Amino acid sequence: MAEPARPHKPRLSSKAEALRRRRERAMAGGGAEKEKAQRAAGKLTARERLDLLLDEGTFEELDLLVEKRCRDFGLDQKYLAADGVVAGFGRVNGRDVCVYSQDFTVMGGSLGLAHAHKICKAMDLALEAGVPVIGLCDSGGARIQEGVESLGGYAEIFYRNVQASGAIPQISAILGPCAGGAVYSPALTDFVYMIEGSSHMFITGPDVVRNATGETCDFESLGGAATHSVRSGVCHFVAGSEHDCFRQIRELLEYLPQNCREKPAAVMASDDPGRKSELLGRVAEMDARKSYKIHEVIWELADGHQFLEVHKRFARNLVVGFIRLGGESVGVVANNPSVLSGALDISASEKGARFVRFCDAFNIPLLTLVDVPGYWPGMEQEYNGIIRKGAKLLYAYCQATVPKVTVVLRKAYGGAYDVMSSKHIRGDLNYAWPCAEIAVMGPQGAVDILFRRELKAAGNQQRRRQELVDSYAKQFASPYQAAQRGYVDEVIPAEETRPKVVKAFRFLKNKKVVGVAKKHGNIPL
């Protein structure tokens, strides 16, 4: 009896087999030992990171077989798989993105010329296709063996960051070390993510700092996630793990358009656009001297009470981030009375200006919630340039042409009233709660100046002072004088704030502004 036929196993041709081997070698990274060390450090591999970030099965790799050209300092004896970076395109939540992921298992993810060219190709494609670009950074810096070519590679990346700025969203995730010249590319992108305990960014490391200045520090205190999210403001989002980081990136992209020519995609409204809020009514009735958490106001206004805060740990006297109103993406800028009484200082001004300019570049309307006593006083602020740096927020609002809706919640004093998207700098629709106080300064300070002689001559100074304060507050520190002059479009019950702003943005949806013809302005940097 004849033997049953064996299943046919197709044999690869010699050329196909050679290709398979080349691909496997390039995809192997730095090898099993280096991969083991990467995992021991609590980090994922470059390819695992892309698998987690991108929709399943959507990644298309480019330049897998690219190799270094440098042969000096023993590099001719080394094979650098994919030259230490995985690059290509894929999808996040069904939308196209370009990505690159540095591979620390290959010479510490160091950047050489071929490595840089792969990143540049991904960035060029992103700009041409009009899609966001996401960089997953895990690199020891420039590849010293390649000398000036590695520096030239960095500069090519920096140039592309600037060309893409305001044209496509750029996101950087710092997933390990990021030192020297490597830090400037993330700094030029729109949003920077860091991981607690494993991400580090600095121009020079602890050893160089100690030798140059005598200061003693470690990686974490010099350039960890806490340092850059709280003190320097370089980091916008902090994650507890890489998995959490990729989840946060996916969430952020939901609020953004693909490029500057589009608007953010709307979603089906998950909340009643006419919903009123008793909580806002209670906030409006609070003693004006008491603070509250501005987040509670934002949550009450947002669809589904959802708010994606940006720069959460930095300059907490100003809160910025994204919400949806009637299903549409909206950027929020709000003073926070629970920190520095909501006053504007240097850090808050720069934080707000950066966010306003991002929203304006990508067609995201702006909701401004005002409760500001003025600019924060003091010699340190003056010495460090509050005049120039504080003007950045003013410049950003004046320049912004997206729909701008403003609500004065309580205080709006002095120049800070002007800066926070007032009617005078072209806020489109400006509302105020009945408890709002809009004036050059607070009643207490105004009375001290205006009635100084009378108070000095008064017998019962304290009683007379209080009478004058009450009179001034009633006449000047209210929303009605501003409303009489058209600087406030409507004084509204606090409970009705959400319906009002939803209708306002719906009306302004197709707003168009023709600017002054010029090359560009000169923001006070």
Q: Are 139 and 132 in contact (CB under 8 A)?
A: no
Q: What angle do CA 145, 150, 156 make, to 5 degrees?
A: 175
What 8-state DSSP symbol labels residue 232? I
Q: Is 415 a catalytic residue?
A: yes
* 210 HSE (CA, 13 A, CB side): 7
Q: Are 301 and 325 in contact (CB under 8 A)?
A: yes
How many beta carbons lie within 10 A of that of residue 286, not counting itself? 13
Distance CA 36, CA 473 (A): 68
**Torsion from C-alpha of 78, 79, 83, 85, nearest 10 degrees:** -110
Distance CA 273, CA 374 (A): 32
Distance CA 76, CA 168 (A): 38
Q: Is 521 a catalytic residue?
A: no
How many beta carbons lie within 10 A of that of residue 148, not counting itself? 9
232 - beta bridge partners? none
How is residue 361 written in tokens? 């570049």
Marked catalytic residue, from 147, 166, 281, 415: 415
Q: Is 153 a catalytic residue?
A: no
Distances (CA, A) of 2 to 5, 6, 9, 100, 243: 9, 12, 20, 56, 57
Marked catalytic residue, from 90, 108, 176, 180: 180
E strands, 93-180, are 95-102, 133-139, 170-179
Q: Are strands 308-310 and 318-325 parallel, antiparallel or unpaired?
A: antiparallel
Marked catalytic residue, from 182, 353, 400, 416: 416
Q: Are 115 and 156 in contact (CB under 8 A)?
A: no
Give the residue from 139, 144, 131, 262 showing the smallest Cα distance to 201: 139
Distances (CA, A) of 152 to 19, 114, 177, 254, 361: 31, 11, 20, 35, 29
Give the residue from 187, 179, 100, 107 showing the smallest Cα distance to 146: 107
Distance of CA 30 to the CA centre of its chain: 33
Q: Are strands 404-413 and 429-432 parallel, antiparallel or unpaired?
A: parallel
**Checking phi first, is residue 486 left (phi over 0); if not, alpha (psi -120 to 50) or beta?**
left
Residue 505 amino acid letter: F
Q: Is 416 a catalytic residue?
A: yes
Marked catalytic residue, from 30, 108, 181, 390: 181
How is residue 15 written in tokens? 């050329």
Distance CA 96, CA 91 (A): 4
User: Which residues participate in catalysis according to the annotation?
Assistant: 180-181, 415-416
